[in-house]
Structure 1
Amino acid sequence: MTATPTRAAIASVCAALLLGGLKAYAAWTTGSVAMLASLSDSVLDLIASLVTLAGVRIAAQPADANHRFGHGKAEALAALFQVVLISASATFIAVRAIERLTSGEVAADPEAGIIVSVIAIGVTLLLTAYQARAIAASGSIAIRTDRLHYQSDLLLNAGVIAALVLESVLRLRGADPVFGIGIALWLLWGAWHAAIDAIGQLMDREWPQEKRRAFIACAAAIPGFESLHDLRTRSSGSQDFAQFHIHVPATMSVAEAHDVVEALEARLEAEFPGTEILIHVDPEGQVDRPGEPLREANELRGA
């Protein structure tokens, strides 16, 4: 079965429901702050996964009269919503852990918490593997952010096990809330990086330099134009956009220039599937943006 963003989001919702129920039982039984942190994270996972599901379904809708560039940025909005939830969860965990440190409470019945955490790790590994397939196929930023959250759950659940063993079995007082604080800091770190990616899409940030140069190298392999300049790129959900100008000989006919553009588009779309490409033709010697020519195409050709 093909791993699509929608299927990955549905799998995420199901996993969050299962883990939330198990962790609620374990948190009630043990009274562990680390387990409470894990439960809180799973509840927010469920909310975030529902938002992700809505985001990827909206983003998958084709362009219409009011959204000519599609609905891809719904994924970035869903990712930002997840960032807010992750940050709120981390703050709650840190506050509760500090309260436990000052009160000196100790977690009880560690066995239940350890068993639930082991099950959670197994379910999360299966989910993140499926999400990785969906990301590889679509590049979905919403699923990528959701996967980042669930990857942090692996560390979180391992932390819960360590905290319960250290505090309840080895009698190392304070281990549980200390691990809770560490988990909170890890969640905030992940939220920060997820926010950077989502905001980058909303602000139409350029592609990474490696991807831009690969795009230019692909274009440079096509003969018929003199140079390429004014390349602009952006991403919207799993949809990429690129536009640029090419210089062709001033004596070239419109039909010949059209053939060059068609060849360029066919090659680039084959190498960068899912990319919407817009090419503007300039006669040799025409300068649209003095001081801003893009010379990489000529450099790659060895000119």
Structure 2
Amino acid sequence: MSLLQTPARYALVSVAASLVTMGLKFGAFWMTGSVSIFSDAAESVINLVAGLIAFIALLIAARPADKHHTYGHDKVEYFASGVEGTLILVAAATIFITSVQRLFAPVPLDSLGWGMAVLVLAAAINLGAARVLMHGACKHDSITLEADAKHLMTDVWTSLAVVVGIGVIIVAPEEWLFLDPLIAMAVAVNILRAGVDLLRRSWNGLMDHTLPAEEIQIITEALQAQAPDAPFHGLRSRKSGSRRFIDVHLLLPGRCSVQEAHELCDRIENLVESRLNNTSLTIHVEPVEDDASWDGHCIGGVANDGSDQQTQLPDSLQPSDDKQGG
């Protein structure tokens, strides 16, 4: 698969935008001496590093499954977003410390008008790049691209906040000079929030967090549409990058042939995969008459056989007492 056919090409947009805006913002900091502009420029450095990490991670995630990684390489996306989140926390701490020092030792600011113009241009570049990345995230269901897009949007709002603060300082330079480090502190807090959110999502992905409730609903609806009278249990799910892995136990009459069960499972799988992209559904068929098949309470996950309270069978299909006890 060529680079132009993978989600990694979107990460190059982030890298290019970060290089340009980083140069613009550090130039504005050199002209003005504003610590709030410095904080904005520092965030662009993090954007650049994050974009490079995202690019490498998406290249690895695009590799097909092999004998050492039989489920593919998609989980590298969670490592990438975790590294990005950590870098963001470091940047936030650095900006906050610098801002506190400047708050107690203010310095005069110069060429603020030029600084404002540069920040507005940088914000426009980041906004365009964020929109491109979010389009790629939706198209490829990529947490890495989504994280990068949201990070760039955080940078956009940061730049606009700094522009507003500089505008106030231009109007009243002496009285409002303290506003410069205060804006930088607010930027640091905002960056900190983004970093914590990325780390949380990375943790959930690495811990095989279940799919969202609306996606579980799609799966249960497919099961009930194709096998309305068949109980199921052990519906478990996880997501690895953009790929979804689902397994479920389906209870069918023992007289059902292997061919019939196979065709039914194919219909269920095709229906789920038509509504959820990049899905791998595994269905384990069990005889409904066998007491050993009613072990949903041991397996866990979503069920409609009475072993889970999330979904219940109609009264006419409830298992007998002796089978529930088995």
Query: What's the TM-score once normalised by structure 1's chain length?
Result: 0.94
Per-residue deviation, 1:221: 1.0
- Comparing 162-171 with 101-110, greater Cα deviation is found at 162-171
- What is aligned with 1:136? 138
Q: 1:289 aligns with which of 274, 277, 296?
A: 296
3-state SS of the aligned residue for 1:230? strand
3-state SS of the aligned residue for 1:156? helix
8 Å Cα contact 2:131-2:149 kept in structure 1: no
Per-residue deviation, 1:136: 1.0
- What is aligned with 2:106? 104
Cα distance per residue 1:159-204 (max 9 Å; x no partner): 1101211223322121110010001001111111111111111110
- What is aligned with 1:238? 242
Matched residues in 2 for 1:137 and 1:174: separation? 45
Per-residue deviation, 1:302: 9.8
Per-residue deviation, 1:54: 0.2
8 Å Cα contact 2:79-2:202 kept in structure 1: yes
Q: Gaps spanning 5+ residues in structure 2: where? A: 305-309, 318-326
For 2:14, the aligned partner's letter is S
8 Å Cα contact 2:238-2:246 kept in structure 1: yes
The answer to whether structure 1 residue 173 and structure 2 residue 196 are counterparts is no
For 1:169, the aligned partner's letter is V
Q: Larger RCO: Structure 1 or Structure 2 (Cα < 8 Å, ≥ 6 residues apart)?
A: 1
Matched residues in 2 for 1:300 and 1:68: separation? 39
Structure 1 residues 21 and 302: alpha-carbon distance in aligned structure 2, compared to 1, 3 A threshold: farther
User: Within 5 A, what are the aligned runs for 1:191-202?
Assistant: 191-202=195-206
Q: Gaps spanning 5+ residues in structure 1: where? A: none
- What is aligned with 1:35? 37
Per-residue deviation, 1:145: 1.1
For 1:170, the aligned partner's letter is A
8 Å Cα contact 1:3-1:134 kept in structure 2: no
For 1:57, the aligned partner's letter is L
- What is aligned with 2:268? 264
Q: 1:254 aligns with which of 248, 255, 258?
A: 258
Per-residue deviation, 1:5: 2.3
Structure 1 residues 166 and 258: alpha-carbon distance in aligned structure 2, compared to 1, 3 A threshold: same
For 1:31, the aligned partner's letter is G
8 Å Cα contact 1:225-1:246 kept in structure 2: no
After TM superposition, where is structure 1 displaced by more than 6 Å over at least 4 residues in a row? 300-303
Per-residue deviation, 1:224: 6.8
- Comparing 83-92 with 162-171, greater Cα deviation is found at 162-171
